[in-house]
A and B are shown apart, each in its own frame.
Chain A
Amino acid sequence: MKLRKLVLASALVAAGASVLMAGNAMAQSKEQFIPVLSYRTGPYAPNGVPWANGYVDYLKLVNARGGINGVKLAFEECETGYDTARSVECYERLKSKGSSFVQPLSTGATFAITEKAPNDKIPVVTVGYGRSESADGSVFKWNFPIAGTYWVAADAIIQAIGQKEGGLDKLKGKKISLVYHDSPFGKEPIPLLQERAAMHGFNLTLLPVTAPGVEQKATWLQVRQNKPDYVVLWGWGVMNSTAIKEAQATGYPREKMYGVWWAGAEPDVKDVADGAKGYNAVTMQHGAEPQSKLVKDVLATIHGKGQGTGPKEEVGQVLYMRGAMSAMLGVEGIRAAQERFGKGKVMTGEQVRWGLENLNLTQPKLDALGFAGVMRPVSTSCMDHMGANWARIHTWDGKGWKFTSEWIQADEQILKPLVKTVAAKYAADKKLTPRTPADCQS
Chain B
Amino acid sequence: MTLTRRELLRSTAAGAAGLVVAFHVPLVARAAPRPAAPPLPTPNAFLRIGADDSVTVLLSHSEMGQGIWTGLAMLIAEELECDWAKVRCEHAPAAPVYAHPVFGIQMTGGSSTTWSEFDRYRNVGAMAKDMLVRAAAARWKVAPGGIGVASGMIRSGKNQASFGQLAEAAMKLTPPKAVKLKDPKDWKLIGTPTRRIDTPEKITGKAQFGIDVQFPGLRTAVVARPPAFGSKLVKFDGAAALKVPGVEQVVPTGNGVAVVAKHFWAAKLGRDALVIEWSAPEGGGVTTATQMAEFRETAKKPGMVVSEKGKIDAGLAAAKTKLEAVYEVPYLAHASMEPLNCAVKIENGACEIWTGTQFQTGDQGAAAQILGIKPDKVTIHTTFLGGGFGRRANPASDFVGEAVIIAKAAGVPVKVVWTREDDMRGGYYRPAYVHRIQAGLDDKGKPVAWDHVVVGQSILAGTPFEPMMVKHGVDATSVEGLAESPYLEGASALRVTLHSPKTPVTVLWWRSVGNTHTAFAMESMIDEAAHAAGQDPLAYRMELLKDKPRHAALLKLAADKAGWSTPPAAGRARGLAIHESFGSIVAQVAEISVEQGQIRVHHVTCAVDCGTAVNPMGIEAQIQGSIAFGLSAALHGKLTLDRGRVQESNFHDYQVLRMSEMPRVAVHVMASKAKMGGIGEPATAPIAPAIANAVFALTKQRLRTLPLRLA
State whether these chains interact: no
**A residues within 8 Å of B by Cβ?**
none
**B residues within 8 Å of A by Cβ?**
none
